[in-house]
Amino acid sequence: MFRKTHLKAVAALSAVALLAACGSGGDEPEDTTTEQTQPADTGATETAEDTEAAGTEAATPESFTFGYILPETGALAYLGPPQVKSLELAIKDINDAGGVLGSDVPAPVGGDEGDQATIAQASADRILGQGVSAIIGAAASGRSLDIIDRITGAGVMQCSGSNTAPTFTDYDDNGLYIRTAPSDALQGPVLANTIINDGWTNVAIVARADDYGRGLANATAEALENAGATVAINETYDPLAQQYDSVVQSVVSANADAVVIVAFEEGVQIMQGLIEAGLTPADMGFYGADGLRNPDLGKLVNESDPSVLAGMKGTAPASAANEDFLASLAKFAPELGDNTQFAPQVYDCAVTIALAAEAAGSADAEEFKDAVVDVTKEGTECTSYEECKGLLEDGEDIDYQGVSGPLDFTDVGEPGRASIEVYGFDDEGKFETLDTVESNPAADSR
């Protein structure tokens, strides 16, 4: 149906530095919204003044303790179990190596992020009142934006293993927010490069109207255009809409040869609409990202014929690169099965923060926050909490090599490079990992 013309590969990833302003609190990127009503909850729902008025106050930590705010209910509930279990595994490994500051780390204080700001904020208030040193989460960028001022404003460290919105790069967090998941400024060019290498030249992009959707859509569009491709449309939609007929019609009208869908569970309905309109992965390029990385996606789109997604591809922060970690996690939590998305990144959140506390000699985040970046680069390389802790005790600087890959934190506390998985669906609609690509702003893309 569509003619394919091969173009040059995506240009140097250093170009993504221009994307740092997207969603950072400055001017929002221009986009066309296919749904006229804005979603009820698209990201940060309160200001720093609102947080102060809420009266959030953290108890002073007497010993090193974790909390977490992760999805136990709602559309992203499937992301909760691997993240919670990987945090628990990290705590076990930390305690097996002597704990933090000479004491075992207790079980984490848990809370649900749900699908609503009020749920995540209530969890944050409750956990902050229990004297934690750090909170892991939230999973969704929007939910983290709902609670980041509460947490960091209370002098507690926050680390997400799955927030990818570029918004966080320049966020005013007093050095107390970090993430081990790469910014979409790193993922977008890999997604664009995958599309270009497949030979597509005219791409339609539709994305959630929130910081995650806009950030990844714009990063991908920028990289596509740098490579010489045409972006037919780059539109956002209300993720809480009842139906997505206008989104489908926009893609159909664009007459593109490939489509990128930056979505969560609502992407299933969009893909069903595209297929019903005669646009299928057999006729054009279908691409998703981490929000659609679900091994059961084919069955969700068409339970009786998962092969309708044969040929679809996508990208996500790599979650299957460290076989030793996955084997350890499978032994610790066999009930997870293949559901390990963002588990390595959450494990690295916990170990990195624990090592920073050890290096600073304090369970108080205000005192160990400056050590977080230092323990991830420019020291003696080490690959486990036990090994790194031993080096610290010997007075050495360390470079923790995470189970999700080398972290090499930038000064703002996020990976300076990242391993990005390229996934796909085979002829039967079964999920498969196709490749793992390193995204590094200082290097050329492949």
> 192 and 177 in one domain?
no
Residue 3: how many other CB atoms lie within 10 Å = 8
C-alpha span between 276 and 341 (Å, rounded)? 30
For the stretch 341-353, pLDDT in tens is 899 999 999 999 9
398 lies in a domain? no
For the stretch 158-170, pLDDT in tens is 999 999 888 999 9
pLDDT class for 416, splitting at 50, 70, 90? confident
Residue 446 has pLDDT above 70, yes or no: no
DSSP-assigned states of every residue in 47-85: -HHHHHHHT--PPPPSS--EEEEE-SSSTTGGGHHHHHH
> 306 and 348 in one domain?
no
Better-predicted residue by pLDDT, 152 or 417? 152
415 lies in a domain? no
C-alpha span between 93 and 325 (Å, rounded)? 12
Residue 197 has pLDDT above 80, yes or no: yes
Query: Element (H or E) spanning 120, and its range?
Result: helix 117-128
pLDDT class for 22, splitting at 50, 70, 90? very low
When the pLDDT of each residue in the chain is averaged and rounded to a whole number, the result is: 86
> 161 and 213 in one domain?
no
99 lies in a domain? yes
Q: 171 Cβ partners below 8 Å, 6+ apart?
A: 24, 25, 148, 177
Residue 41 has pLDDT above 70, yes or no: no
Q: 86 Cβ partners below 8 Å, 6+ apart?
A: 161, 329, 343, 344, 346, 347, 350
> 188 and 53 in one domain?
no
C-alpha span between 245 and 403 (Å, rounded)? 42
> 119 and 218 in one domain?
no
> 197 and 313 in one domain?
yes
pLDDT of 341: 85
445 lies in a domain? no
431 lies in a domain? yes
> 194 and 172 in one domain?
no
- Domain closes at, from 351, 373, 395: 373
Split into its structural domains, the chain has a count of: 2
pLDDT of 157: 98
For the stretch 221-277, pLDDT in tens is 999 999 999 999 999 999 989 999 999 999 999 999 999 999 999 999 999 999 999
Strand ranges inside 89-160, DSSP E:
109-112, 134-137, 157-160
Would you state the structure tokens that stand for residue 209, as one six-digit string? 């109207």
35 lies in a domain? no
User: Percent of the chain, pLDDT > 70?
Assistant: 84
> 205 and 110 in one domain?
no
> 305 and 202 in one domain?
yes
Angle in degrees, CA 169, 152, 138, rounded to 5? 70
| 3-class secondary-structure state, position 129 | coil
Angle in degrees, CA 8, 290, 349, rounded to 5? 115
Give the C-alpha distances (Å, rounded to integers) separating 247 from 63, 87, 231, 240, 264.
51, 38, 16, 13, 15
Mean per-residue pLDDT, 126-131? 96
φ, ψ at 367 (rounded to 5°): -95, -30
pLDDT class for 61, splitting at 50, 70, 90? low
Give the C-alpha distances (Å, rounded to integers) separating 394 from 85, 266, 287, 291, 384.
31, 52, 49, 42, 16
CA atoms within 13 A on the CB side of 123: 28
> Are the CB atoms for 83 and 346 separated by under 8 Å?
yes
DSSP-assigned states of every residue in 215-259: HHHHHHHHHHHHTT-EEEEEEEE-TT-S--HHHHHHHHHHT-SEE
pLDDT class for 323, splitting at 50, 70, 90? confident
Better-predicted residue by pLDDT, 17 or 410? 410
pLDDT of 306: 96
Better-predicted residue by pLDDT, 399 or 115? 399
pLDDT of 60: 57
Would you state the structure tokens that stand for residue 287, as one six-digit string? 């691409």
Residues in the chain: 446
Mean per-residue pLDDT, 193-209? 97
C-alpha span between 444 and 446 (Å, rounded)? 6
Would you state the structure tokens that stand for residue 63, as one six-digit string? 């010993």
Residue 43 has pLDDT above 50, yes or no: no
384 lies in a domain? no
> 428 and 285 in one domain?
yes
For the stretch 376-399, pLDDT in tens is 999 999 999 999 999 999 999 999
Mean per-residue pLDDT, 150-164? 96
C-alpha span between 252 and 327 (Å, rounded)? 44
> 280 and 303 in one domain?
yes
> Are the CB atoms for 250 and 204 separated by under 8 Å?
yes
> 431 and 292 in one domain?
yes
CATH code for the domain in which residue 21 is found: 3.40.50.2300
Residue 58 has pLDDT above 90, yes or no: no
Token pair 């010997």 is found at: 394
Which structural domain, as residue segments, surrounds residue 281?
Answer: 13-30+184-320+422-439
Give the C-alpha distances (Å, rounded to integers) separating 56 from 183, 413, 432.
28, 24, 44
394 lies in a domain? no
